[in-house]
Structure 1
């Protein structure tokens, strides 16, 4: 079973306070995760087998979500909320929506090949970029983004679940953290949070 594993309580408390329905941000208001040590350079593999780095998203806001394609419950639900939230933002604030890149990073590189992760991400929205990598690359990006995951015991059929944290980050165009996106609250909350923090 996938579970929520907060990377630190203060950030979650601040993020909850920052994800209301208000769409305009006063100039003096700071994003909840401003200054947090989250994010950084990464080098992974896209659906076509080519190398994708953080620099490929330079100048764009990024929605960063970590999960795995064999996830039976939480990951598809969160991905659906992210995709639907982006579509809502398309209709409400299309100029903001165009500034956002949505990225799905697997925590299960053993099974999630480039083709598999690419199909999974695109099934929710063709704009969502699916990324995988070597186990070492995935561990490095997990560490940079304060993501936790652990492979579960194998089932009699040889499959397994992966327990993992569930946070969805909004990063700014310089790849600095802004806020947590409340995917567990549904598409409306996702759209409202994006509208609030994307300038």
Structure 2
């Protein structure tokens, strides 16, 4: 009897594994970008991205639909960031230039998580220095937090020292997000990805549309 129960349990486990495998394979087949993905998002790519309203570097109120009107590389940071943000934005700009050389137009986007200091004027000066097509976005604290929440990013300002209220650092996540107008978020890139690697992976997504 014990042996029969063990055999039955084994058959159930095998069937269960078969169903899981089949579902995984079906999901892979349904994902037109499966061959391009190098990252996994718990719950799927639909868990990241979404609607937001921000203020552009020219002072205009813009929505996510207006911002992501072409393939876009989105990065959350701040202009007073001493080292991480300049390197990441420069890497993203280099990837955009590599793609443009291939005939692909991808928009670099920089969303500030420090709206207190990053006014539209400050953002414009910063983005003009990094890349002529880099779009800088800021907004109210509520708008910025909503955009950050949509992309599941983190940021936390340090408490400034007395007498130096304008000089403080902000801890923040450092992913760059690829979003496509017709698909929304599709991939994220870590800091260790080079401009060449980023360009190649973005190209894969563009070719698979």
Tell me which interval the TM-score lies in, with the shorter structure as reference length: 0.7 to 0.9
Q: Which has the higher contact order (CA 8 A, sep 6+)?
A: 1
Pair 1:187-2:199 in alignment: no
Contact preservation (8 Å) 1:58, 1:174: no
Answer with 110-119 or 68-77: which moved more: 110-119
Count of residue pairs the alignment pairs up: 171
Query: Equivalent residues in 2 for 1:15-26 (5 A)?
Result: none
How much does 1:121 deviate?
A: 1.8
Q: 1:118 aligns with which of 124, 130, 134?
A: 124
Asked whether 1:72 is paired with 2:78, we answer: no
Partners of 2:188 and 2:33 lie apart in 1 by 19
Stretches of structure 2 that go unaligned for 5 or more consecutive residues are 1-31
Scaled by the length of structure 2, what TM-score is found? Answer: 0.74
Once superposed, what is the RMSD of the aligned Cα atoms?
2.2
Q: Which runs of 5 or more structure 1 residues have no equivalent in the other structure?
A: 1-25
Deviations 1:58-100 (A, max 9, x none): 5411111000000001000000100011111222x21x2x2x2
Equivalent position of 2:23 in the other structure: none
Which secondary structure does the structure 2 equivalent of 1:41 belong to? coil
Cα separation, partners in 2 of 1:74 and 1:58, compared to 1, 3 Å: closer
Quote the Cα distance in structure 2 between the aligned partners of 1:197 and 1:113: 33
Q: What does residue 35 of structure 1 align with?
A: 45
Q: Cα distance 1:186–1:111, how it changes in 2: closer, same or farther (>3 A)?
A: same
Partner of 2:10: none
**Given that residues 78 and 184 in structure 1 are in contact (C-alpha distance below 8 angstroms), is that contact kept between their aligned partners in structure 2?**
no
Q: Distance in 1 between matches of 2:92 and 2:186?
A: 16
- Please identify, of 69-78 and 189-198, the stretch whose mean Cα deviation from structure 2 is larger: 189-198
Question: Is 1:144 aligned to residue 150 of structure 2?
Answer: yes
CA-to-aligned-CA distance 1:16-73 (integer Å, 9 cap, x gap)? xxxxxxxxxx876364455331111111111111111112145411111000000001
Structure of larger gyration radius: 2
Matches within 5 A, 1:58-69: 58-69=68-79
Using the alignment, how far apart are the partners of 2:95 and 2:122 within structure 1?
A: 23
Mark the CA change 1:107 to 1:175 in structure 2 (over 3 Å): closer, same or farther. Answer: farther
1:37 to 1:28, Cα distance in 2 relative to 1, 3 A = closer
In terms of fraction of residues, the more helix-rich structure is: 2
